[in-house]
Amino acid sequence: MQRVVDMNNKNEYKVEMSYRMECKYRGAGLTHYVMQSEDSPF
Amino acid sequence: MLQTITIDDVEFKIDPETNFWGIGDQKKLEGLYFSVRKELIEEMQNLRFCKDIILLYVNPTDKCNASCPYCYLPQNIKSRGKNMSYAELNAVIEKAIEFFESRGVKGSIVFHGSEPLMNRENIFRVIEDYHNELHFGIQTNGMLLAEEDAEFIKEKRVNIGISLDSPDEVTNDALRGQGHFSKVIETLEWLSRYRGLNVVTTITKHNQRQLADMVRFLHEREVSLCLINPVRGTQKGSLALRPEPQEMAKDFIKAVDTAIELTKQGRRIVIGDFANLLLGIIAPSARVLMCDISPCGAGRRFFSVTANGECYPCGEFIGMQEFTGGSIFNSTIEEISDSDGFRKVMSRTVEWIAECNICLFKNICGAPCPAEIYSTDGSMYKKSYYCDFYRKVIEHALRVILRGDTWHVLRRSALREKFSL
């Protein structure tokens, strides 16, 4: 995997990356209120 | 179309219509983008325009035992002093259950303020009666909570949000009332490690410098989730307390990085507002909070019911008669959500706000909050007062992705991958 070092922040960053996720469990998300449960992405 | 933004000398390519993002070889990214674009457009359309009420905020009382200077409720509502009777509350709950069941979902009821525990007996009674049919939540200042109440909340798996504005007693009590700090500390001990607990901090000029300390303070008390919300200027009192957005962003980002560092050391603490913006980038359809999307969730995913039964798209609109959806006692939930007042809010999109329409982050931030902008400008079709705050924080979210810290904010186990490069 290619990486680059940002000298200002001393961080090592991946230089090639893109991904998209979705909720694994039906019913999670979009509640406006934080309902914590095992299926919460928080 | 992919557009470019540079974060720490790294070029991000972003499509603001779908929130596709990537770094690296342009041709590879374009190849991936065009292969998933159609699916992502559909996902974003569903996320933004799906109308499906799954939660009601119910204010069981107009009464409050505090007088926070930034309260979002108009004084004329609070001074009515109306308490919902058990029969009234029960009627609301049964109407909600019937509606949710007709859609095949287990919906949610969140008791909100004024201070819901001023009507403690009735709300605990309906929780006892209906906790199998509904998810329940309580947003409280915690002042009236007894140890036995905390046990009941845990036993019935009720979500509870407790307000605390500062790790410093003097600052907190100046905002929330004498004795609040010490009472909340006691309550947090009773609810220690309870998965349904979150602590809510409202950012004002008075506590903005303390946000990172607040995160450390909560982490020491084993709180795993907090919400750190900018005060909304819907009332005169709150308007006067709004921080300068760019300065607030610096303080908020320090709090975010503090939470990440503490999480790396072994025990999680998450700032929900930031986690939600990060989800907006990497998993838009998994967002939990519905403020930072347009149209926002007001009226289409949830609405608010006042103690006299009047319905508004969101608590922030309470008292603005032009947005009322009628009475929960005289109308069906379908009629309320189809009302003209609700439709005004549900039709507010970033595309109709000139500055937002050309912004790379328009579908990550959503130009919140329409109620606040309407209060200050007389129109919802303006950019947010906090525009610069959101811009800085979203840029930081991209930095968090670059640093590989995403899974120190979000729970990977709750998500699945749609695609990756």
Confidence class for position A7, pLDDT limits 50, 70, 90: very low
Q: Inform me whether the C-beta atom of residue B29 falls under 8 Å from chain A C-beta atoms.
A: yes
Q: What is the pTM of this model?
A: 0.95
A22 burial class (0-12, 13-18, 19+ CB within 10 angstroms)? middle
Least CB–CB distance from A9: residue in B8, B198, B291: B8
Q: Inform me whether the C-beta atom of residue B2 falls under 8 Å from chain A C-beta atoms.
A: no
Element (H or E) spanning B397, and its range?
A: helix B387-403
Q: Give contacts of B197 with chain A, Cβ < 8 Å.
A: 36
How many Å apart are CA B162 and CA B143, to the nearest integer? 10
Confidence class for position A1, pLDDT limits 50, 70, 90: very low
> Minimal Cα distance from A12: which residue of B?
B403
**pLDDT reported for residue A9:** 52
Whether the predicted pLDDT of A36 surpasses 90: no
Q: Which stretches in chain B have pLDDT values below 70?
A: none
B254 burial class (0-12, 13-18, 19+ CB within 10 angstroms)? middle
**pLDDT reported for residue B49:** 94
**Interface test mutation site (partner A, options B12, B396, B401, B402, max chain A beta carbons within 10 A):** B402
CA B309 to chain centre: 23
**pLDDT reported for residue B77:** 87
**pLDDT reported for residue B347:** 97
Least CB–CB distance from A15: residue in B24, B43, B413: B24
Interval B262-299: pLDDT, tens: 999 999 999 999 999 999 999 999 998 899 999 999 99
User: What is the ipTM score, two decimals?
Assistant: 0.90
**pLDDT reported for residue A24:** 83
Helices B180-190 and B147-155 sit at what angle, rounded to 10 degrees? 40
**pLDDT reported for residue A28:** 46
Closest CA to B40 of A16, A22, A26, A42: A22
Q: Inform me whether the C-beta atom of residue B269 falls under 8 Å from chain A C-beta atoms.
A: no
Q: Inform me whether the C-beta atom of residue A31 falls under 8 Å from chain B C-beta atoms.
A: yes
